[in-house]
Every structure is written in structure tokens, then in C-alpha cells.
Amino acid sequence: MADKLLLRALGGETLPTPPVWMMRQAGRYLPEYRATRARAGDFLTLCYTPELAAEVTLQPIRRFGFDAAIMFADILLVPDALGQRVWFEPGEGPRLDPIASADAVARLRPADAVHDRLAPIYETLRLTRRELPPATTLIGFAGAPWTVASYMIAGRGTPAQEPAHDFMRADRAAFAALIDRVTGATIHYLNAQIEAGAEVVKLFDSWAGSLTGRDFDDFALDPARRIIAGVKARHPDVPVIAFPRGAGDRYRGFARATGADCVALDQSLDAGWAARELQPDGCVQGNLDPALLVSGGARLIEETRRIRDTFAGGPHVFNLGHGITPDAQIDNVALMIETLRERR
Ligand code: CP3
């Protein structure tokens, strides 16, 4: 444990060089990912085949030597386990049979269905853990209830989560029941991931930015608090990273209010502001703009140094503000890591 830089940073240590990993580090910008993905046939088969999922989890570690591996899976496996039909349209993205009524919410499977239905994911974690270098930390994850519910209600990704907001306005009680079901399932799911070998878990609230006021409190903050309490009740020493993407001012106090050990910052946040306002509460992660891994060059070097140096006074995990994109250049990822770790 002492040698795992990610665990040290999440535990509150200020390190001379921050640990680094990337959201979506196993993904389409890597030719070896595309080859394994082609072997699997479709995306869900890749997620549900532990040998292949473990293989793609390890690919970015072999190529770049990141400090952490994030298990290969998807946030939409939870709706799948709850009995909603989920599939991925090649070249487009996720599709689900939309949930649009209190009855449809009531028909979902109970929260503990994730234990049986997501057994392959726990196997992926066991296989990966065996193969990882001793200094590399294994991260598990789930989507936060609001983000997952936004896909469950719309049946697809939506720019501003309109269908989920409409459902919330039309029947707040049914909407809250859906959030509760996903919250319960997520607690079971993250605990099972930890029992299978995850050493850190991350909660992705990719669409937190479209919630404001009381809706943010009820459907982003409170579910995160309950999930983290549910994980800490069984696994008090396992760090949790929360990612309320796009939350802006609502990042302030989020770690304290939810019990998160670290908040992941999107690229819209000013690093100087985050160092002053958020880092005193604990570790922060982020927040390089993923577009810089497409363009590269002097700007990539400058921005990598600026973020590293701005957060150098406290605990920090270097990462992107969001996932790496399929058009990112492999050489730019290597340049980012080399710049981050250069001797100063
Ligand atoms: O980070 C990792 O490397 C681990 C694996 C991971 C994936 N998805 C694999 C994936 C993680 C952590 C996720 C999280 C996820 N999935 C989120 C939250 C984080 C974020 O990016 O905001 C969301 C919203 C999803 C839902 C999802 N999955 C969408 C909207 C899409 C389509 C868009 C896209 O990027 O293609 C996916 C598909 C997906 N999930 C891919 C990967 C590597 C690409 C699918 C492919 O290979 O064809």
C-alpha cells in the first residue's frame, strides 16, 4: 500500500509528482483496444467477457505505466442488471427502452440484482488484480443515480437531460423512487466491486451540471452522500472519488457534504480557484482539457505543467477534465506523462 501513489494522494498526502491516470484510458484511441473490441463483436459482449475486459483494462497500463487501472465496464450495466433493455448502436452510442412511468419504475428488479447479474464484472476485477504491477491501483466505478436515470428515462444520451427533467417535474415521487432504486443498486454494486479487488471507487455524475438548487441537493448531493455512506459502512478505508461534472459553484463543499475523499474536476473549473477553495478539504483530481491530447504541442506541455504546479501545494491526482476522445494521439499521451514526471 505504501508504494501505491494513488492511495497516498487520496489519503491526503502531498507528493512531489502526482499520480496519473486518464478517464476512458482504455478506449478507441488505442489500436490494441480496437482489435480486442473487434474480437468481442459488440460493446456489451466486451464488458461481459472477463478475459477480454481485463485485457483492455491492462492495455493502457502496459503502454503508458499509469498509476491506476480503471476496470473496463460501463455505467449502463446497472440498468441492464435492473432488467431494462440496454444496447449500443455502433457509431452512435447507448440505447435503452425508455422508462416513462411510475409503473415502469416499480417493475425494475430489486437493487441487489446486481450481485448475480453483474458477476462477470467482479470476475474482471479478480483477473485484473492478479495481473497488475504492484504499484498500480485498481479503480472500480459506477454512474451516479442522476446520470444513470437520465439515460434510463430518455433511452439515450441527451444534450440537456430534458426527458429526465420532464419526468421529475411531472411525477417527483416516481422520479425519486427511480433515484432510490439506482442508489440502492449502486451501493451493492460498489461494495461487490471492492470485495472482488477494487481498491478505490469512483462515482461518475457526468450530467450533474444540469441540476440546480434543490434538485442538485436531492438528486446529486444526497444520493452521492448515501452511496458513500453505504460503501464506507462496509469498507471504511476504501477511498471514493466523486465526479459532479459541470457542477461549477456547487463543487464547493461537495466533498465534505458527501464524504468523498476526492473530487474530480472538469476542465471548466479554474485550477487556481479549485486549489484555494477545494483542495483544503482533501484531494482533487483533474483537470486537463482532453482536446489538448488531440492538438498536442507546446500548449499541451504548458497546460500539463500549469495544472501540476497549481495543485502542487496539496494532494492531487493528475487526470483529464473528461474522457480521452477517440481522435487523441498516442504520442500526446506519452508527452503529457513525460512532462508531468520531468525533473524540476
Ligand atoms: O474509463 C475507462 O477506461 C473505463 C471504462 C468506461 C467506459 N465508460 C467504457 C466505454 C467508463 C468509466 C465509462 C463511463 C461512462 N459510460 C460514462 C461516465 C463518464 C463520462 O464519459 O461522462 C457515461 C456517461 C457512459 C455511457 C456511455 N458509454 C456513452 C454515452 C457511450 C457512447 C459514447 C462514446 O464515447 O462512445 C458509451 C460507450 C463506451 N463506454 C465506450 C467505452 C470505451 C466506447 C464504445 C466502443 O468501444 O464502441
Q: Are 257 and 225 in contact (CB under 8 A)?
A: yes
Adjacency order of strands within the sheet including 137-143: 68-70, 137-143, 200-205, 240-244, 262-264, 283-288, 316-320
Kindly report the CA angle at 153 between 113 and 290, in degrees rounded to 5? 95
Reduce the DSSP state of residue 89 to 3 states and report it: strand
Contacts with 258 (C-beta within 8 Å, 6 or more apart), sequence order = 221, 224, 225, 228, 242
37 as an active site residue: the answer is yes
309 as an active site residue: the answer is no
Catalytic residue among 28, 63, 109, 252: 28
Strands 86-89 and 93-96: antiparallel
Q: What is the pLDDT of residues 15-61, one digit of tens each?
A: 999 999 999 999 999 999 999 999 999 999 999 999 999 999 999 99
Beta carbons within 10 angstroms of residue 301's beta carbon: 17
**Ligand 1 site residues, Cβ closer than 6 angstroms:** 23-28, 37, 43, 70, 72, 74-76, 93-94, 141, 143, 157, 204, 206, 323
Q: What is the pLDDT of residues 248-279, one digit of tens each?
A: 999 999 999 999 999 999 999 999 999 999 99
Dig out the grid coordinates for 225 from the structure: 452522500
Residue 343 confidence (pLDDT) above 80: no
Catalytic residue among 24, 95, 252, 305: 24
Q: What is the pLDDT of residues 186-212, one digit of tens each?
A: 999 999 999 999 999 999 999 999 999
Q: How far is the CA of 139 from the centre of ligand 1 (A)?
A: 15
Task: Report the CATH number that the domain containing residue 23 is assigned in CATH.
Answer: 3.20.20.210
What share of the chain in percent tops pLDDT 70?
A: 99
Q: 2 pLDDT band (50/70/90 cuts)?
A: low
Predicted confidence at residue 1, as pLDDT, reads 54
What share of the chain in percent tops pLDDT 90?
A: 98
Q: How far is the CA of 112 from the centre of ligand 1 (A)?
A: 24
171 as an active site residue: the answer is no
Give the total number of structural domains in the chain.
1
Alpha carbons 77 and 96: distance in angstroms, whole number: 11
**Mean pLDDT to the nearest integer, 229-252:** 98
Q: Are 45 and 90 in contact (CB under 8 A)?
A: no
Cell 479503480 identifies what position? 139
Residue 279 structural domain: 5-340
Q: What is the pTM of this model?
A: 0.97
Report the nearest-CA residue for atom 22 of ligand 1. Answer: 206
151 as an active site residue: the answer is yes
